[in-house]
């Protein structure tokens, strides 16, 4: 039988746990909103350029405008916002860390079992050497609009292939099919640092 001190401690522990769960839910909701905003902004810029000039110029949108958009969202939210892929086109910006790699591999397994890419996300509290982080990933589905630059190589025009070779000599972001996991929006927020 617990005395009043034991009951108070148990109640405090339950309240702290509930508050932590509410905090994680709140961060997940915010991250989901930011991820959707990022994808919508990128899609808007790409579609506009594809309609105006075609896929060759859209490559420059990906190379220059998309990093600016992600950087702007990172500054606005105080979170690290980026896109990652197991087959990154831009290795300096899109190469996943270990946690992101595991999440992307899990997304691919889940798609293979029949889940829809659009519904795939993951959130987790992670202890790293620098501190405790909230981590969030939202899968990016491969869409038909992306095939001119990311589809099967034999279906990518010579002009696009030449531009990709110039802009991304280490490119691996091709041979995708509609409905596959193209990559993910990754969000990371430091919750508490280690002394």
Residue ranges per structural domain of the chain:
4-193
Residues in CB range of 111: below 8 A, 6 or more apart: 117, 120, 179, 180, 181
What is the widest separation between alpha-carbon atoms in the chain?
Answer: 78
* pLDDT tens, position by position, 40-67: 999 999 888 888 888 888 898 888 999 9
Say what the pLDDT of residue 14 is.
44
pTM of the model: 0.84
For the chain, what percent of residues have pLDDT higher than 70?
88
In the predicted model, is pLDDT for residue 10 greater than 70? no
Where residue 7 falls among pLDDT bands split at 50, 70, 90?
A: low
Say what the pLDDT of residue 15 is.
41
Average pLDDT estimate for 169-179: 93
In the predicted model, is pLDDT for residue 32 greater than 80? yes
* pLDDT tens, position by position, 80-139: 999 999 999 988 888 999 999 999 999 999 999 999 999 999 999 999 998 999 999 999
For the chain, what percent of residues have pLDDT higher than 90?
69
Where residue 5 falls among pLDDT bands split at 50, 70, 90?
A: low
- Tokens representing 111 are 């798609």
* DSSP letters for 122-137: EEEEEE-SSEEEEEEE
In the predicted model, is pLDDT for residue 193 greater than 80? no
């Amino acid at each position: 039988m617990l005395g009043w001190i034991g009951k108070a401690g148990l109640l405090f522990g339950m309240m702290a746990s509930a508050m932590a769960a509410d905090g994680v839910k709140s961060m997940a909701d915010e991250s989901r909103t930011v991820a959707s905003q990022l994808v919508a902004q990128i899609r808007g810029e790409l579609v506009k350029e594809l309609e105006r000039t075609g896929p060759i110029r859209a490559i420059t949108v990906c190379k220059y405008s998309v990093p600016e958009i992600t950087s702007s969202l990172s500054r606005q939210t105080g979170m690290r916002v980026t896109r990652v892929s197991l087959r990154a086109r831009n290795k300096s910006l899109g190469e996943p860390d270990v946690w992101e790699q595991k999440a992307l591999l899990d997304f691919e397994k889940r798609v293979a079992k029949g889940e829809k890419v659009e519904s795939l996300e993951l959130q987790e509290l992670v202890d790293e050497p620098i501190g405790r982080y909230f981590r969030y990933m939202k899968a990016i589905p491969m869409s038909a609009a992306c095939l001119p630059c990311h589809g099967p190589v034999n279906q990518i025009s010579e002009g696009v292939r030449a531009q990709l070779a110039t802009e991304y000599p280490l490119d691996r972001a091709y041979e995708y099919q509609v409905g596959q996991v193209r990559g993910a929006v990754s969000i990371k927020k430091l919750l508490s640092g280690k002394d």
